[in-house]
């Protein structure tokens, strides 16, 4: 959110200010020669929502321009209350009408110091603006802004009350943190339960050599299963061997080493020649695009599903072997 440097005449105070607090603020700003926070004001009326004491400082010291964040009182995300806890807990007694705030700012019927608490849908970040960036003129009498009926003791008590508001707000935040932490733990437990109920898929093949089509298929099915077991068969293609099943096993393990839910194993012998499922890993469903493998599964009472093979020159083991041989 960007601030603007605007004429101070566009602003309208909403609250009076504490005399001693203003004096301390003036001392700090004059020493630092920087403004750390912009004033926050209503874009339609100029009513100051945050920065009443800074506004008084600028006016008193003759600044003609000031840094301002413009916001709209009509924005539903902006709320007004009487205590910091009203940020979270709202009741009819804590609400201050935005209409009344605008009316008081425009009429000059100011609230006592720190009557309102404005809550914004953004963080009030530092701006670190040098005072030299602002246009300066003659000092202005701000006696009408000073709440003279507040003594130093009153200001101290007010600050102590504000600290109590902060402590109360922290307590509410801690309560919300525990609430959302419980929700997070519940959701994590639900994820674990649902994940444990997902099936384990078995994806067998010669992978001689591993090619784009197989990799695409594996990547497509990973999200659907708790685990995918890639089974590398010892079956050597009839058109000859390019490498060994053990080398293929190591290559696939290296390729998928960062996938926690992928396991690569070696299938002893030729899958479709097996008389039973002994020696195979435990799984819920066999996935294949090979009709011979699906027929074997059906014959041996193994649940299986057909998955389409990817198309293209680099999506066929036969084509890849031909390319490599030639």
**Percent of residues, the chain, with pLDDT higher than 70:** 92
- Would you say residue 268 has pLDDT above 60? yes
Q: What is the tens place of the pLDDT at every residue in 56-76?
A: 999 999 999 999 999 999 999
b/e burial code for range 226-249 (CB count within 10 A of at least 16 → b): ebbbbbbbebeeeeeebeebeebb
pLDDT in the model for residue 282: 95
Token digits of residue 178: 């525990």
3-class secondary-structure state, position 230 = strand
Q: Per-residue pLDDT averaged across 274-281, rounded?
A: 93
pLDDT in the model for residue 196: 87
Name the pTM for this structure: 0.66
For 198-325, CATH gives 3.40.50.620
Q: Per-residue pLDDT averaged across 37-55, rounded?
A: 97
* Distance from C-alpha of 241 to C-alpha of 35, rounded to nearest angstrom: 76
Work out the burial of residue 105: count CB atoms within 10 Å of its CB; fewer than 13 is exposed, 13-18 middle, 19 or more buried: buried
Q: What is the tens place of the pLDDT at every residue in 211-264?
A: 888 898 999 999 999 999 999 998 877 666 678 899 999 999 999 999 999 999
Helix (H) or strand (E) holding 5: strand 4-7
* Distance from C-alpha of 85 to C-alpha of 79, rounded to nearest angstrom: 12
Distance of CA 225 to the CA centre of its chain: 27
Q: What is the tens place of the pLDDT at every residue in 85-126?
A: 998 887 766 678 999 999 999 999 999 999 999 999 998 889
- Would you say residue 312 has pLDDT above 60? no
Architecture of domain 4-149: Alpha-Beta Complex (3.90)
pLDDT in the model for residue 322: 65
* pLDDT confidence bin for 314, thresholds 50/70/90: low
pLDDT in the model for residue 82: 92
| Cβ neighbours around 37 below 10 Å, total | 17
pLDDT in the model for residue 236: 77
Domain range list for the chain: 4-149, 151-197, 198-325
Q: Per-residue pLDDT averaged across 141-167, rounded?
A: 95
* Distance from C-alpha of 25 to C-alpha of 54, rounded to nearest angstrom: 8
* Distance from C-alpha of 39 to C-alpha of 11, rounded to nearest angstrom: 9
pLDDT in the model for residue 51: 97
> Do 4-149 and 198-325 have matching folds?
no
For residue 71, what is the DSSP state? E
Helix (H) or strand (E) holding 212: helix 212-221
Q: Quick one: which of 46, 170, 36, 165 has its CA closest to 101?
A: 46
Q: Quick one: which of 197, 258, 259, 205 has its CA closest to 228?
A: 259
């Amino acid at each position: 959110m960007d601030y603007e440097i605007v004429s101070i005449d566009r602003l309208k105070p909403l609250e009076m200010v504490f005399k001693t607090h203003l004096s301390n603020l003036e001392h700090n700003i004059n020493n630092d020669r920087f403004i750390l926070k912009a004033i926050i004001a209503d874009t339609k009326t100029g009513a100051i929502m945050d920065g009443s004491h800074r506004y008084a400082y600028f006016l008193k010291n003759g600044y003609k321009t000031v840094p301002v964040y413009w916001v709209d009182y009509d924005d539903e995300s902006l709320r007004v209350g009487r205590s910091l806890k009203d940020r979270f807990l709202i009741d009819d007694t804590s609400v201050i009408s935005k209409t009344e705030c605008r009316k008081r700012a425009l009429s000059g019927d100011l609230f006592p110091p720190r009557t309102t608490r404005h809550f914004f849908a953004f963080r009030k970040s530092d701006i670190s603006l040098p005072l030299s960036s602002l246009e300066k003129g003659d000092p202005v009498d701000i006696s009408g802004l000073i709440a003279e009926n507040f003594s130093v003791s009153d200001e101290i008590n007010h600050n102590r009350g504000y600290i109590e508001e902060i402590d109360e707000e922290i307590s509410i935040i801690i309560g919300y943190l525990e609430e959302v932490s419980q929700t997070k733990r519940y959701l994590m437990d639900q994820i674990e339960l649902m994940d444990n109920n997902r099936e384990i898929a078995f994806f067998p093949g010669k992978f001689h050599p591993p090619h784009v089509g197989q990799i695409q298929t594996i990547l497509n099915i990973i999200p659907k299963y708790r685990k995918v077991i890639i089974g590398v068969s010892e079956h050597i293609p009839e058109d000859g061997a390019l490498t060994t099943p053990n080398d293929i096993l190591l290559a696939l393990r290296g390729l998928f080493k960062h996938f926690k839910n992928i396991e690569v194993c070696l299938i002893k012998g030729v899958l479709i020649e097996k008389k039973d499922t002994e020696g195979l890993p435990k799984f819920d469903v066999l996935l294949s695009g090979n009709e011979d493998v699906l027929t074997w599964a059906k014959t041996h009472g193994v649940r299986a599903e057909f998955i389409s093979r990817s198309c293209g020159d680099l999506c066929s083991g036969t084509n890849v072997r031909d390319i490599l041989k030639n």
